[in-house]
Every structure is written in structure tokens, then in C-alpha cells.
Structure 1
């Protein structure tokens, strides 16, 4: 029988028991195998006190309160907001691509754009914008959400929240919105329905509900400010998608020249 290691394999501090007193990791022996990996995954998904379920459970109650607790220092119980956003975003768009829902949305956008009587440049640009929305929405959202957080930070400057704190709140709200929207994707595939409208409605409702707590406002002020925030989001996503479309348009022209 091999002797147990005297040092933690995570932080290399000497261990006196089964768990490391410095970082809390359990004593690990040998190499990582598939059984251990899936065992850890199952434990993380089923443990009621895990950061995954703590984050989801409390976000569904009030995303604004979770953001407040996170920025006030209570971070060990929650997932990192950026990681939470990226994971839920990946789940949502993976389902959209697998079910073909993203292609359906792009087709509807293309048809609506092609009916307009516009110049050749604008017609070509509208086609590129549709392609960006259909194939590069991850890039659009990646750049739009940080820009939105900047606008929201200055919109609610009286609340005295800095950019990082505002960005934390935005990540939690949009991450939860993508998670809820993921539940609608199968219905969209079966019923040939468009979930973009419901997804935006869900995210807007989560933003309003959370903003009331996070920015400490009354309901009338929250609703009025939320309308301005909605325009800010539309502006940032449109600006980012149009910028990418213009770059791709001129790049293709230079390549073909």
C-alpha cells in the first residue's frame, strides 16, 4: 500500500488530514481517470449546496440581489458572472444551431430585408448584417454586452455603481435570460415559432426586476429607465453587427478585386 501524500496537490501545503486546511481540497491520489471526472461532475450537478445550484436558485428569485451580494464580497457561493454568461450563452446557441432555429431566424430576416427598396450598397450591407446575426451572433453579443454595461453604468450614475459592478449585474441578467430561452428552443423547433421575441421579453423582465434592487429605485423609475436601457441595448447590438458587416463587406470586395 502506498503512503498518502504529505502535501496538497493543489496548493502544495502539508496536509494533516483528508482535507487541506489551506484550500479545502480533498486528498487526491493517482492520476485523473474518467470515472473520477464524471463522479465530480455528477456531484457538482446534484449537490444542493454547490455553486451551480446556489447561483441558479438565487438568481431565479432576484438577479439584482445576487449581483449585490457578489460585488459586496460574497462570491464563494456563486459562479463567476462572466463564466455563467458564457456557459448559458453557449448552451442557448448550441441548441439553436442543432435544431436549425438560428437558420430559420436568419431566413426571416433575409426575406424582410430583401423587400426594401434601397441602394445596392444598403442592400448588400443588409445581407451582410443578416449573415452576421445568423453566423456570428456570439461575436455581436460578446462586444455588445460590455458596451451595454458601459452605457448602463452612466445611465444609472446616481446609484454610484462602477463599471465592473454594473457588468456583473448585466452578466447575471443576460446569463439567466439565455438559460430560460434555452427551454423555449425545443418548442420553436416543433412549432416553427420564433423565440427571439420571447427571449428579449424574458431578459427585459429580468433586467427590470433585478435593476429595481440593484440600483435601488422605485417601480415607476425602474420601468422608465428600463425603456432607455432597451434602446441602449438595441443601439449597441446594431452598432456592433453593422460594424462587423461593413468590415466583412469591404474585405470581400478587396479579396475579389
Structure 2
């Protein structure tokens, strides 16, 4: 018998290929087999997805460091975890744009207050359609990860903690971003189904997300609270500057090509 993935010769008793690590599938596909695979990958509380999700709260440094140092059987792969988070975010956007369009409507009184503020007639963003951010939410999440990785790498590199290179900072920020996206998407779907104000959730999730990032940095780099807080603030400043610069460039390009109207 040969491995169906890499064609290496296998013993009949092997459950995994010792060359590529793929699971040896001997049974034909049946509803029972598919149900078992779905349970193993997504439903079982003992699977790697739930273990990764829980441990990213309990001990994020262990999850991130395990992946970086090559221990990758216990926790789900970082790219797969991020892909799952984007899938959940896509489901959230689909529900909002299909069944819960009213969740995207901003309170008229609030809009009147904004429009009555001084200088709004000269504001280039006054007529901007902010549904753009919902439509391209997945792209916004993807763009944000390398920008936050650049920010954290620059801060820790120039302040002397060079334990992780840029790619490893990218892994850190992928795990962190995926965790926040999953929580936001699940809570958003719950809010939509229960008829609660989605915009309130969007506001409430911001502060805990910042606290969680500080907690992740503290657990990963094992520095004092003061050092972590100082580097966190500097990272946020650098991130804000880079993020704004990137989006200004994107908006200029989109406006120039006629993709959006500003």
C-alpha cells in the first residue's frame, strides 16, 4: 500500500505516513465517515481548534512559541486558524448584508449631529459610503496583520528584544488577529440573531481587544508590566501611522480608478 499523498510505501498497519504525516484513509466515504471527520475536526471539544482557542486565552505564549519552535501537532496551524476566522467573518458579513441590513443603518439623529458639526462642508469624507468597510471586511483584516507585525517587530527589534524575527512576529499577529476576529464574528452573529445593536458590540469589543494584545505580548516576551505597556503604546502609535498611510494610499488609488466615490 502506498500513501495517496506522497506515494511512499506504507505498512498495512500504519495510520499515518511517516514521510508526509498524512492520515491513512482506508474506508470508503460514507455519511458515517464524513460525520466522524466533521466531529473530529470541528465539533469535538478535544480537537485542536478548541484547544487552540482556549489556550490562546489561558497561555497564548505557549501556543505561539510552540508553533514557532516546531511543535505543531497540539495546536492548529496558524494559517488554517486565520482562514477559519475569515470564514466566520464572511458568514457574519453575509448575514448582515442579506438578512440584517438594518444593522448597518446608522442612527439618523447621530448622522444629523455629525453633519451639523463645523467644517463638514469641507470634509472630503462627508459623502463617503462606509458600507465599503463591511463589504471588504476580510480584505481589511488581511491587510491589518502584516501592518501590526511590522509594528511589533520594529518596537521589539529596536528596543533590544530580538527573540523573534519578522516572520515570527507575523505568526504572533496572525494568532492574535484570528482570535479577535473569531470572537467578534461569533458575538456579532449572536447580536444579529437576538436583535441587539450591532454597532454597540463594535464599540465594546475595541477596548478588550487592546487589553488582550497587551496580555499576549506579556505572555510571549515575559517582560515586566511596565516594559510591556511601554512597548504596547509605542506599537500602537507606529501601527496607527502605518495603517493611516496605507489606507490613504488605497483610497487615492480607488478614487482615481473610479472604484469608490469620495
Q: Relative to structure 1, is the Cα distance of residues 187 and 211 closer, same or farther in structure 2, using a 3 angstrom cutoff?
A: same
Of 55, 59, 70, which aligns to 2:56? 59
1:146: Cα distance to partner? Answer: 0.4
Question: SS of the residue aligned with 1:16?
Answer: coil
Aligned residues of 2:146 and 2:170 also touching (Cα < 8 A):
yes
Measure, in 2, the Cα distance between the counterparts of 1:50 and 1:205.
27
Provide Cα deviations, 1:83-126, integer angstroms capped at 9, x if missing partner.
21232133134224414578745746993765552465x42x45
1:149: Cα distance to partner? Answer: 0.5
Provide Cα deviations, 1:166-200, integer angstroms capped at 9, x if missing partner.
11111111111122223421454322242222222
Q: Relative to structure 1, is the Cα distance of residues 183 and 11 closer, same or farther in structure 2, using a 3 angstrom cutoff?
A: same
1:92 aligns with 2:95: no
Q: Relative to structure 1, is the Cα distance of residues 96 and 114 closer, same or farther in structure 2, using a 3 angstrom cutoff?
A: farther
Question: SS of the residue aligned with 1:134?
Answer: helix
1:15: Cα distance to partner? Answer: 2.6
1:242: Cα distance to partner? Answer: 3.0
Aligned residues of 2:16 and 2:24 also touching (Cα < 8 A):
yes
Instruction: Please give the TM-score of this superposition, normalised by the length of structure 1.
Output: 0.80
Listed as ranges, the gaps of 5+ residues in structure 1 are 1-5
Which has a greater percent of helix?
1
1:155: Cα distance to partner? Answer: 0.6
1:253: Cα distance to partner? Answer: 8.6
Aligned residues of 1:132 and 1:241 also touching (Cα < 8 A):
no
Of 177, 192, 196, which aligns to 1:191? 196
Aligned residues of 1:140 and 1:240 also touching (Cα < 8 A):
no
Instruction: Please give the TM-score of this superposition, normalised by the length of structure 2.
Output: 0.78
Measure, in 2, the Cα distance between the counterparts of 1:20 and 1:135.
42
Partner of 1:163: 166
Partner of 1:181: 184
Listed as ranges, the gaps of 5+ residues in structure 2 are none
